[in-house]
């Protein structure tokens, strides 16, 4: 049993007492008898079981994505015999997979042996970006096969994820050519799409603003912003070949007058001046604290009075998305070997260290995809 003393803060004493009560068989038996409390207990039990079964759920989803089952069910209703033939499975194995997906709302059987997409399946089948992320997570699952061994490793030791991102980083500087870079390109497009939607739902640029996206790749985020705001100038700052290629893609879509390329390294080179808003979209949480602070300090030096920095990425401790931050991204970034999930408060402290005067949190409708922090020069 946990030992506490009168010197412990009240919250520590409360948590210790709560845990002792919840673990008591007598308390659990009492909960099972009272209707209102029983509903709460059932919900907590369901949450606990989801923790136990979560890996199984993710592998069921992976099976639907990688097998092409989503596409097959989209043309439904289809019988399990046809699904078995298409997936090269036995009839019993096919029914096991279809029923497992039904429990997760990936599939549905509205008529006897007539299988179609379920509610969640319909959403995921239409989202190529989400499917790209599911395929990519096979690397994370390999690294997490022994989580304690992963955590005991020096972060510089190679993992499946770190090998992928090291390779992808080299390709990033080489303009991401060829079919071998398809997974990297899909992941970048997907991540930018998720974050861009949150920015568009929560933030409005000043009229006739000049936006510079630092580390903007081939302009996926800027494309979303340019489509939504006709008067927005789109500046792209990234490594030389990437910035030139990205700016050309943007210019082909929006015209040369609205686009400018700014080649450079955000650790070493001066960030160009003259922009009203500078954005960092899913950049900072990929870097350790010293590197992230260096990026922020470099950007702060470029901002003129009245300009501000927009940080948009999934953040730790976001209400309603707590598991995403420190659980998913905490382990993902550890396996990647760089960066960590940070809360808005941690970013607020960090940008003040970089010389920014004040910050403002901007609520987003889906913090599981991104939170927004504005830092003012």
Helix (H, G, I), strand (E, B) or coil at 155: coil
Q: What percent of the chain has pLDDT over 70?
A: 85
pLDDT in tens, 137-173: 999 999 999 999 999 999 989 999 998 888 666 555 4
Q: What is the DSSP string of 78-104?
A: B-HHHHHHHHT--HHHHHHHHHHHHHT
- What pLDDT score does 177 carry? 46
What length is written for the chain?
377
Listing DSSP states for 199-218 in one string gives: HHHH--PPTT-EEEEET-TT
Round to whole Å and give the CA distance between 325 and 330. Answer: 6
Q: Give the pLDDT confidence of 65-103 residue by residue, as tens digits.
A: 999 999 999 998 999 999 999 999 999 999 999 999 999
Three-state SS at 126:
coil
- Residues 6+ positions from 115 with CB-CB distance below 8 Å: 73, 76, 77, 78, 79, 80, 83, 98, 107, 108, 109
Q: How many other β-carbons are positioned within 10 Å of the β-carbon of residue 5?
A: 7
Spell out the domains of the chain, with CATH numbers in brackets.
Answer: 10-125 (1.10.10.10), 147-376 (3.40.50.150)
**The pLDDT value given to residue 295:** 97
The closest alpha carbon to 373, from 341, 340, 351, belongs to 351
Contact criterion met (CB below 8 Å) for 81 and 91 = yes
254: Cβ–Cβ under 8 A, 6 or more apart, which residues? 226, 234
Judge whether residue 35 has pLDDT over 90. Answer: no
Strands (E), the chain: 107-111, 114-117, 210-214, 233-238, 259-263, 277-281, 308-313, 358-362, 371-376
């Amino acid at each position: 049993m946990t030992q506490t003393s009168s010197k412990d803060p009240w919250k520590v004493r409360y948590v210790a007492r709560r845990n002792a009560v919840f673990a008591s068989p007598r308390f659990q038996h009492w909960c099972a008898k009272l209707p209102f409390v029983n509903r709460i207990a059932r919900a907590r039990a369901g949450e606990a079981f989801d923790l136990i079964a979560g890996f199984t759920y993710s592998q069921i989803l992976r099976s639907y994505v990688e097998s092409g089952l989503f596409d097959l069910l989209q043309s439904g209703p289809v019988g399990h015999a046809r699904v078995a033939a298409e997936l090269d499975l036995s009839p019993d194995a096919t029914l096991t997979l279809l029923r497992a997906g039904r429990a997760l709302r990936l599939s549905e059987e509205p008529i006897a042996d007539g299988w179609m997409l379920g509610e969640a399946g319909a959403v995921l089948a239409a989202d190529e970006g989400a499917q790209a992320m599911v395929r990519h997570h096979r690397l994370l699952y390999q690294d997490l096969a022994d989580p304690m061994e992963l955590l005991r490793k020096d972060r510089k030791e190679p993992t499946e994820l770190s090998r992928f991102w090291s390779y992808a980083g080299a390709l990033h500087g080489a303009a991401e050519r060829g079919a071998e870079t398809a997974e990297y390109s899909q992941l970048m497009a997907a991540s930018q799409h998720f974050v861009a939607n949150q920015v568009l739902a929560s933030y409005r640029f000043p009229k006739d603003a000049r936006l510079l996206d630092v580390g903007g790749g081939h302009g996926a985020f800027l494309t979303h912003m340019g489509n939504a705001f006709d008067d927005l100038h789109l500046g792209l700052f990234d490594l030389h070949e990437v910035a030139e290629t990205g700016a050309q893609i943007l210019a082909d879509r929006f015209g040369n007058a609205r686009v400018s390329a700014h080649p450079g390294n955000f650790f070493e080179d001066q960030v160009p001046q003259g922009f009203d808003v500078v954005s960092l979209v899913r950049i900072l949480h990929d870097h350790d604290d010293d590197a992230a602070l260096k990026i922020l300090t470099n950007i702060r030096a470029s901002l003129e009075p009245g300009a501000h920095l927009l940080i948009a990425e999934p953040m730790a401790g976001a209400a309603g998305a707590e598991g995403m931050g420190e659980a998913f991204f905490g382990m993902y970034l550890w396996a990647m070997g760089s960066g960590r999930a940070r809360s808005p408060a941690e970013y607020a402290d960090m940008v003040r260290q970089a010389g920014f005067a004040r910050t403002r949190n901007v609520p987003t409708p889906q913090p599981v995809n991104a939170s927004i922090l504005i830092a003012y020069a």
